[in-house]
C-alpha cells in the first residue's frame, strides 16, 4: 500500500541521502514555485492532486475565505492564491521558523493580490480568524508504528512534527475534525489529507460531529488519500 510519503515524486535514493528537493531549494506545486528555505515538509504530488480539485470548488464561492491549516511551506494556500488572486487566504503554521518561508512563497509567486494573506502561529485553530468557507489541511498523519512504509530519507531529513500523527496517526486528524466546524461557515467545507486505513475511523468520528456529509476520495495513484466534509 502506497503512503503519501512513499511517492513516485521522490527519487529512488540511497539510505539517509538528503532529499533532492532540499538540495535544489524548491519544488513545483501546481503553477507555483515553492521554496523550502526553512526545510518544511516537501509538498507531494498527492497533495497537489486534491488541492487542484479544491481550487475548482473555490472558484464557485464568491469572495471565498480560505484557511491553509498546518501550512508548512504554504504550498496549498499559495497555489490557491496563484490561481485565484481575489480569494482571501489565511495560513496557520505552528512552527514559526516556517513563517518566513511562507512569506517568501507568497511574495515570489504573487505579483498581484487583492487581499493581503495573513500568517498565524499557534496550535491548530488557536489563532484562527474564521469563519472560513474552505479549510484545507495536510496535517501530520503518519502512524509511528508503521514507519516501514516511509522512506529513510524522509524520516531522517524532513521535520518529524509535520509527519507523525501520534497514536495510529490520528491524534491531530481527530482534533481538526472536532474543531473545524467551529471555524467553518454554514455549509463550509473541510478538505483533509490522511492515510487510506484511517477512513473508517474518520467516518466513525464525524457521526457525532456537525457535518452533513463526509466523502473520501482516491489520489492519482488510486489510493484513498483525502476526505471532503461539509459543515451543517
Give dist(CA 187, CA 18) in Å, integer. Answer: 43
20-231 folds as Rossmann fold (3.40.50)
Which pLDDT belongs to residue 229? 98
Q: What percent of the chain has pLDDT over 90?
A: 78
Residue 40 vs residue 17, higher pLDDT? 40
- Written as nine digits, the cell of 3 is 503512503
Whether residue 54 is predicted with pLDDT greater than 60 in this model: the reply is: yes
Q: What digits encode the pLDDT tens for the residues 140-190? A: 998 887 776 777 777 788 888 888 888 999 999 999 999 999 999 999 999
3 state SS of 149: helix
| Band (128; pLDDT cuts 50, 70, 90) | very high
Q: Confirm if 139 and 162 have CB atoms less than 8 A apart.
A: no
Q: Could you tell me how far CA 163 lies from the centroid of its own chain?
A: 11
Give dist(CA 75, CA 105) in Å, integer. Answer: 8
Mean of the pLDDT values across residues 208-213? 97
Which pLDDT belongs to residue 9? 41
Residue 230 vs residue 130, higher pLDDT? 230
| Band (113; pLDDT cuts 50, 70, 90) | low
Mean of the pLDDT values across residues 88-93? 97
Q: Confirm if 177 and 208 have CB atoms less than 8 A apart.
A: no
Q: Nearest 5°: phi and psi at 154? A: -70, -50
- Angle, helices 75-83/45-58, rounded to nearest 10 degrees: 40
| Band (47; pLDDT cuts 50, 70, 90) | very high
Amino acid at each position: 500500500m502506497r503512503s503519501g510519503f512513499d511517492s513516485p515524486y521522490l527519487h529512488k535514493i540511497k539510505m539517509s541521502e538528503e532529499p533532492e528537493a532540499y538540495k535544489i531549494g524548491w519544488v513545483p506545486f501546481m503553477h507555483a514555485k515553492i521554496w523550502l528555505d526553512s526545510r518544511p515538509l516537501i509538498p507531494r504530488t498527492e497533495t497537489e492532486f486534491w488541492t487542484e480539485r479544491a481550487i475548482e470548488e473555490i472558484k464557485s464561492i464568491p469572495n471565498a475565505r480560505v484557511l491553509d491549516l498546518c501550512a508548512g511551506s504554504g504550498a496549498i494556500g499559495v497555489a490557491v492564491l496563484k490561481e485565484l488572486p481575489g480569494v482571501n487566504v489565511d495560513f496557520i503554521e505552528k512552527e514559526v521558523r516556517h513563517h518566513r518561508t511562507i512569506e517568501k512563497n507568497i511574495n515570489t509567486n504573487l505579483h498581484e493580490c487583492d487581499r493581503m494573506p495573513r500568517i498565524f502561529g499557534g496550535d491548530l485553530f488557536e489563532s484562527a480568524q474564521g469563519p472560513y468557507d474552505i479549510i484545507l489541511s495536510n496535517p501530520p498523519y503518519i502512524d509511528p508504528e508503521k514507519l516501514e512504509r516511509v522512506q529513510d530519507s524522509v524520516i531522517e531529513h524532513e521535520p518529524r512534527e509535520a509527519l507523525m500523527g501520534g497514536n495510529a496517526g490520528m491524534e491531530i486528524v481527530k482534533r481538526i475534525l472536532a474543531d473545524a466546524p467551529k471555524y467553518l461557515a454554514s455549509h463550509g467545507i473541510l478538505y483533509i489529507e490522511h492515510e487510506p486505513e484511517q477512513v473508517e475511523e474518520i467516518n466513525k468520528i464525524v457521526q457525532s460531529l456537525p457535518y452533513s456529509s463526509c466523502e473520501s476520495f482516491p489520489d492519482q495513484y488510486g489510493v484513498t488519500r483525502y476526505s471532503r466534509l461539509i459543515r451543517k
